[in-house]
């Protein structure tokens, strides 16, 4: 396959002797094309020769004019200074939201040689209203004029011409230009720069399309001039008859006009003797095109990696030289996924595009540090005045400490040590990073001061760097970032990660640039401005990938493919909205101004046509092409496949009989199990597990919560009691439902314990005192159960008021309904009962245990075993018919509260009837002198009083009969628990899964 650049190189080499070549200049659209052309030209000769100047168009303009291009950030500052002269009230942060777009418009205006005074005058309010007056009524025009946003928009453009002029004057005084300025300068002064004292004898413009007005004027002026019989310039075009002759095909819009002269100045075509060149590759060439649809964007990288591996293997099997291949990224965000999807054996590749620093992991660390610094926590002092104190949010602290860069530092400085040998016992090195993360969670530290974090760091140098306040001073931030780079550079020197090290180096260069800006502008740059500019620099910075140009595989963006050809192509993201981009435009100039014939600036239609040319030109000489697009999906929000694919399928396929198009959709292979299969997930009870369970119930015991957990979902019981997986601890910023319940329980526990310490007899007047001082009890309990949380604002304040209302209502009910005096026996009492049950002829020792919220006695003979519930409980939940006991007591998950009260009552009676009896706080409780009841106080159903459980195994049963029947049911449960033929399985009730701590582990 002869590429376009090889053809151009052969043409130029044939027209000149090797001595003449050094005096010519070849101009090509892109720098990548320059490298390929030089190689193609070198291949034409058998002996060395002095090469011509081969320049990309931007380099050609700067080289010819001798001007120096200003860097983007300096240009933004220059523009800001100009605006400050005109409008001293301009806010820097707002300015930055539209300034880059405005500079892009200035660049476009100059490249297209537009009269800026006319354009900005066209966009002023008076002119706009004049144009719109036929469409708007009087009231609408008045409304339009009074709109604040509209006023600001028009005010901007009323001053913009002055800004444009002053910016150009400032730059020229400093000997600087932006890109468009240089193009306009050359286009308007071609004789002075190129004709009066020419640097070259001839110019070749190779592979251009969609020229700007400035480019067109430069080329046209040179084309008109002759040096003897030879023209001073020549144009070489890369076109195909498919889009050149088809007037409906946007890809050929400009080339058709350049060839015919239609619409051009004086109707003169943009070439001299003949049109070089047009081919029939798309209409007659043999091509195999695969169109592949995938479910999501990330799958595209996998497809590209797999296809290239297959092609490479095919070349090896055929013992042929590797075929030139390009993976073209419609979406440049796919660069890293594509790199990671290529096999480790694929090293012969070149990446044309740069890797954006903003998409790096280092940027996420920088961003997290800025977020961490911007927190000011507001507290109120005793006088009610708001005081703002700088504190770090736990979210950002955790984000920073868990960042991959910091984890690498941690791995290097605090490696996990193997247990020391007995003869070499060393002091354990405390890892301050892990220790800090644990303390934040265990102490529920929502906000942390710099001092706290430095103390937690125990002198670690990283803590001393990242947890210092900047005090709103950009220079402090720069200093901190320099120190961070020094620390991380050591980490990556050990690790030898080239990409990560390059990230650090590029960030170091950015900091140097920012340091210069801060030195120039002193304290006028705020921390917000500093962040804005730093992030703008990061956005513009790309890590270059450099290698030889003749690599087998090229990874590039669509614009980098200009003038290049490949036999094999994989183009990703061939979707509408990406290829082409659609109607998105980065401009402040309205469409009506862009499209007005007197300005004729590029619109989205222009961009679509440019992309169409790049796409079809790239396909011209390719033999194998794979076009990958993302299938439409509500989940991923992908658009339809590109119109370019539709043109291939419905037009080109019928015009070229040598074209083979196949289409496939690739989906993830997902086996969706049936409900029966899904709930069939199970874990078999091995002999080791059964032994573990026996030891567990004998030593730690069976709590009511464990019993309920097994009945609700035995898989949940397995994760908790067998696998020992603890619930993940999290820092709570607001009162969660479980924390709310803990707070209410702790409040009542503190009240009850105060009574027990005073003898346990509760008189009504004592309860009235508690009622009057309830706020102090609530506040103390809140601080005990929710350290770090503030109860005075937001949702916490609302929930605090709800909690206060609940407890106050409960205490009021007790004041009005309790038979005082009440004898409070104990609060938060843990009871354990040892027993042995027979299972399959074998005695199994176990314990029944539970933590009871309150045990009291009324009327001197009724012992009440009480549990508090903050949620709603109804009386019918605590009763069960005797005939339903065997079926529902140990099988129905809805009877959890009843089972809890049953076991509480069982434990109290079992202990009372034992030889030792039950003694609580020195008081021996005898079974036949006391009646035992167990019940629940539901705080959402307080008016119903104590809801007693109603569970009887038989009518008029004795205490002994109750205990025997209870132990029979306990034996049934132990048999189920230890039965190796009953595996641990997931519940079929999805409602139970909603609040389960292990829902992600089990696959639900």
The predicted pLDDT at position 135 comes to: 45
Cα distance between residue 638 and residue 622, in whole Å: 27
More confident residue, 887 or 307: 307
Which residues is 694 bridged to in the sheet? none
Which residues is 628 bridged to in the sheet? 292
Task: Take residue 787 and report the two structure tokens written for it.
Answer: 């350290």
Do 922 and 738 contact (CB within 8 A), yes or no?
no
Residue 662: CB atoms within 10 A of its CB come to 10
> Where are the alpha helices (H) located in 562-668, listed in sequence order?
591-594, 604-619, 643-647, 653-655
- Helix, strand or coil, per DSSP, at residue 918: strand
Query: What DSSP line would sit under 55-86, residue for residue?
Result: EEHHHHHHHHHT-EEPPHHHHHHHHHHHHHHH
Max Cα distance, the chain (Å): 131
Torsion of CA 310, 311, 314, 320, to 10 degrees: -150
Judged against a pLDDT cut of 60, whether residue 475 lies above it is answered with yes
Do 960 and 969 contact (CB within 8 A), yes or no?
no
Cα distance between residue 330 and residue 628, in whole Å: 10
Which residue is it, tokens 């993976």?
A: 327
Task: Take residue 452 and report the two structure tokens written for it.
Answer: 């706290």
DSSP 8-state assignment for residue 542: E
Q: How much is the average pLDDT of 643-663?
A: 95
Cα distance between residue 902 and residue 594, in whole Å: 81
Judged against a pLDDT cut of 50, whether residue 394 lies above it is answered with yes
Which residues is 377 bridged to in the sheet? 389
CB contact set of 991 (below 8 Å; sequence gap of 6+): none
The predicted pLDDT at position 134 comes to: 45
Angle at 66 between CA 65 and CA 68, to 5 degrees: 110
Return the closest-CA partner of residue 296 out of 581, 629, 663.
629
- Helix, strand or coil, per DSSP, at residue 9: helix
Task: Take residue 149 and report the two structure tokens written for it.
Answer: 């946003």
DSSP 8-state assignment for residue 718: I
The predicted pLDDT at position 933 comes to: 93
Cα distance between residue 974 and residue 706, in whole Å: 12
CB contact set of 713 (below 8 Å; sequence gap of 6+): 986, 987, 992, 993, 996
Sheet holding 233-236, edge to edge: 53-56, 24-28, 202-206, 233-236
Cα distance between residue 206 and residue 6, in whole Å: 11
Within the chain, how many helices (H) and strands (E) appear? 43, 33
Judged against a pLDDT cut of 90, whether residue 27 lies above it is answered with yes
Cα distance between residue 754 and residue 639, in whole Å: 67
- Helix, strand or coil, per DSSP, at residue 635: coil
Stretch among 14-28, 422-436, 527-541 having the lowest mean pLDDT: 422-436
Residue 509: CB atoms within 10 A of its CB come to 11
pLDDT (tens digit per residue) in 716-747: 898 888 888 766 656 655 666 777 888 899 99
SS3 sequence, 943-963? HHCCEECECCCCCCCCHHHHH
Do 985 and 715 contact (CB within 8 A), yes or no?
yes
- Helix, strand or coil, per DSSP, at residue 1003: coil
The Cα-based distances of 655 to 242, 278, 286, 614, 648 in angstroms read 9, 17, 12, 20, 10
Return the closest-CA partner of residue 526 out of 469, 471, 474.
474
| Phi, psi at 854, each rounded to 5° | -155, 140
pLDDT (tens digit per residue) in 144-176: 444 454 455 456 667 889 999 999 999 999 999
Most confident segment among 112-116, 357-361, 417-421, 673-677: 112-116
The predicted pLDDT at position 419 comes to: 43
More confident residue, 798 or 376: 798
Assign residue 692 a region (left: φ > 0; alpha: ψ between -120 and 50; beta: otherwise): alpha
Do 121 and 95 contact (CB within 8 A), yes or no?
no
Judged against a pLDDT cut of 90, whether residue 276 lies above it is answered with yes
pLDDT (tens digit per residue) in 845-902: 999 999 999 999 999 889 999 999 988 999 998 988 887 887 788 888 889 999 999 9
Judged against a pLDDT cut of 90, whether residue 677 lies above it is answered with no
SS3 sequence, 223-247? HHCEECCEECEEEECCEEHHHHCCC
Cα distance between residue 667 and residue 652, in whole Å: 28
Judged against a pLDDT cut of 70, whether residue 344 lies above it is answered with yes
Q: How much is the average pLDDT of 233-250?
A: 95
Strands 278-279 and 239-240: parallel
Return the closest-CA partner of residue 180 out of 65, 98, 274.
65
Q: How far is CA 279 from the centre of its chain?
A: 46
The predicted pLDDT at position 679 comes to: 43
Residue 834: CB atoms within 10 A of its CB come to 13
- For helices 527-540 and 72-86, the axis angle rounded to 10 degrees is 140
Task: Take residue 360 and report the two structure tokens written for it.
Answer: 């790096």
The predicted pLDDT at position 726 comes to: 67
- Helix, strand or coil, per DSSP, at residue 183: helix
Return the closest-CA partner of residue 24 out of 34, 32, 10, 13.
13
The Cα-based distances of 599 to 58, 211, 287, 592 in angstroms read 23, 15, 41, 10
Cα distance between residue 3 and residue 23, in whole Å: 25
Q: pLDDT-based confidence at 141, cuts 50/70/90? A: very low
Q: How far is CA 48 from the centre of its chain?
A: 54
Cα distance between residue 697 and residue 839, in whole Å: 14
Do 330 and 575 contact (CB within 8 A), yes or no?
yes
Segments of 705-790 assigned E as strands: 761-762
Do 24 and 558 contact (CB within 8 A), yes or no?
no
Which residue is it, tokens 């301050």?
A: 432
Q: How much is the average pLDDT of 491-511?
A: 81
DSSP 8-state assignment for residue 427: P
Which residues is 350 bridged to in the sheet? 554
More confident residue, 423 or 527: 527
Q: pLDDT-based confidence at 769, cuts 50/70/90? A: very high
How high does pLDDT run on average in the chain? 86
Stretch among 420-429, 486-495, 651-660, 810-819 having the lowest mean pLDDT: 420-429
Do 468 and 450 contact (CB within 8 A), yes or no?
yes
Q: How far is CA 214 from the centre of its chain?
A: 42
CB contact set of 872 (below 8 Å; sequence gap of 6+): 938, 940, 941
């Amino acid at each position: 396959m002869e590429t376009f650049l090889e053809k151009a190189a052969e043409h130029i080499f044939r027209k000149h002797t090797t001595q003449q070549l050094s005096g010519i200049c070849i101009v090509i659209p892109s720098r990548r094309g320059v490298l390929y052309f030089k190689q193609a030209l070198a291949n034409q000769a058998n002996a060395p020769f002095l090469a011509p100047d081969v320049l990309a168009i931007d380099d050609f303009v700067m080289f010819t004019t001798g001007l120096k291009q200003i860097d983007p950030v300096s240009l933004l500052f220059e523009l800001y200074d100009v605006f400050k002269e005109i409008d001293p009230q301009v806010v820097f942060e707002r300015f930055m939201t539209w300034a880059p777009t405005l500079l892009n418009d200035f660049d476009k205006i100059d490249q297209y040689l537009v009269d800026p005074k006319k354009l900005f005058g066209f966009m002023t309010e008076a002119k706009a209203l004049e144009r719109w007056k036929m469409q708007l009524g009087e009231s609408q025009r008045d409304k339009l004029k009074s709109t604040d946003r509209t006023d600001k928009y028009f005010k901007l453009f009323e001053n913009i011409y002055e800004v444009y002029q002053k910016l150009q004057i400032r730059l020229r005084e400093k000997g600087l230009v932006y890109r468009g300025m240089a193009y306009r300068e050359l286009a308007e002064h071609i004789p002075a720069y190129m004709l009066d004292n020419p640097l070259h004898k001839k110019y070749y413009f190779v592979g251009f399309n969609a020229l700007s007005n400035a480019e067109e004027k430069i080329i046209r002026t040179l084309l008109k001039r002759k040096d003897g019989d030879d023209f001073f310039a020549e144009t070489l075009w890369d076109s195909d008859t498919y889009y050149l002759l088809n007037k409906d095909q946007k890809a050929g819009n400009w080339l058709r006009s350049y060839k015919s002269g239609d619409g051009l100045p004086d109707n003169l075509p943009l070439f001299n003797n003949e049109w070089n060149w047009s081919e029939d590759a798309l209409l007659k060439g043999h091509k195999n095109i695969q169109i592949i649809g995938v479910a999501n964007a990330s799958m595209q990288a996998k497809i590209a990696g797999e296809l290239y591996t297959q092609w490479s293997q095919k070349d090896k099997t055929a013992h042929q030289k590797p075929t030139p291949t390009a993976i073209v990224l419609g979406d440049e965000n796919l660069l890293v996924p594509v790199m990671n999807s290529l096999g480790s054996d694929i090293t012969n590749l070149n990446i044309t595009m740069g890797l954006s620093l903003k998409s790096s992991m280092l940027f996420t660390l920088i961003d997290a540090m800025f977020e961490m610094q911007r927190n000011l926590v507001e507290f109120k002092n005793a006088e009610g005045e708001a005081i703002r104190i700088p504190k770090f949010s736990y979210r950002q602290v955790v984000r920073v400490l868990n960042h991959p860069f910091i984890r690498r530092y941690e791995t290097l400085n605090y490696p996990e040590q193997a247990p020391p040998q007995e003869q070499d016992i060393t002091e354990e090195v405390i890892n301050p990073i892990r220790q800090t993360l644990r303390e934040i969670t265990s102490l529920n530290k929502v906000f942390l001061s710099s001092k706290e974090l430095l103390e937690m760091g125990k002198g670690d140098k990283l803590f001393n760097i990242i947890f210092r306040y900047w005090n709103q001073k950009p220079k402090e931030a720069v200093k901190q970032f320099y120190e961070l780079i020094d620390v991380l550079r050591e980490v990556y020197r050990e690790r030898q990660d080239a990409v990560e090290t390059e990230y650090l180096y590029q960030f170091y260069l950015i900091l140097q640039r920012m340091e210069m800006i801060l030195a120039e502008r002193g304290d006028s740059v705020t921390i917000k401005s500093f962040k804005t500019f730093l992030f703008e620099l990061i956005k513009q910075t790309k890590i270059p990938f450099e290698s030889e140009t003749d690599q087998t595989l090229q990874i590039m963006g669509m614009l980098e493919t200009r003038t290049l050809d490949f036999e094999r192509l994989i183009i990703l993201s061939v979707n509408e909205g990406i290829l082409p981009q659609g109607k998105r435009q980065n401009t402040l100039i309205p469409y009506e101004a862009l499209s007005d014939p007197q300005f004729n600036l590029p619109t989205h239609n222009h961009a679509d046509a440019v992309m169409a040319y790049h796409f079809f030109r790239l396909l011209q000489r390719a033999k194998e092409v794979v076009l990958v697009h993302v299938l439409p999906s509500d989940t991923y929000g992908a658009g339809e496949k590109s119109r370019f694919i539709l043109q291939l399928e419905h037009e080109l396929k019928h015009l070229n009989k040598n074209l083979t198009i196949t289409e496939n959709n690739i989906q993830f292979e997902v086996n969706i199990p049936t409900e029966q299969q899904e709930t069939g997930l199970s874990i078999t009870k091995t002999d080791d597990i059964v032994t573990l369970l026996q030891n567990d119930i004998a030593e730690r015991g069976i709590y009511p919560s464990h019993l309920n957990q097994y009945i609700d979902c035995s898989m949940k019981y397995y994760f908790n009691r067998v696998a020992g997986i603890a619930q993940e601890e999290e820092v709570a910023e607001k009162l969660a439902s479980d924390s709310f319940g803990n707070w209410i329980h702790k409040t009542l526990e503190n009240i009850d314990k105060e009574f027990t310490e005073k003898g346990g007899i509760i008189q009504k007047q004592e309860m009235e005192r508690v009622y009057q001082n309830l706020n102090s009890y609530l506040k103390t309990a809140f601080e005990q159960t929710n350290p770090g949380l503030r109860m005075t604002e937001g949702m916490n304040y609302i929930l605090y008021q709800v909690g206060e209302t609940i407890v106050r209502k409960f205490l009021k009910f007790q004041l009005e309904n309790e038979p005082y005096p009440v004898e409070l026996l104990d609060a938060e009492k843990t009871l354990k009962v040892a027993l042995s049950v027979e299972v399959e002829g074998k005695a199994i020792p176990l314990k029944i245990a539970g933590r009871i919220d309150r045990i009291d006695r009324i009327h001197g003979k009724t012992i009440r075993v009480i549990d508090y519930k903050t949620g709603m409980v109804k009386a019918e939940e605590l009763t069960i018919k005797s005939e339903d006991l065997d079926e529902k007591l140990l099988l129905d998950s809805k009877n959890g509260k009843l089972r809890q009260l049953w076991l509480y009552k069982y434990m109290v009676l079992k202990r009372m009837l034992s030889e030792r009896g039950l003694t609580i706080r020195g008081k021996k409780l005898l079974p036949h002198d006391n009646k035992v009841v167990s019940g629940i106080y539901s705080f959402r159903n307080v008016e119903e009083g104590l809801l007693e459980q109603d569970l009887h195994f038989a009518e008029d049963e004795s205490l002994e009969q109750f205990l025997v029947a209870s132990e029979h049911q306990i034996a049934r449960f132990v048999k189920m628990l230890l039965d190796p033929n009953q595996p641990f399985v997931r519940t079929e009730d999805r409602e139970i899964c909603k609040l389960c701590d292990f829902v992600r582990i089990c696959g639900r």
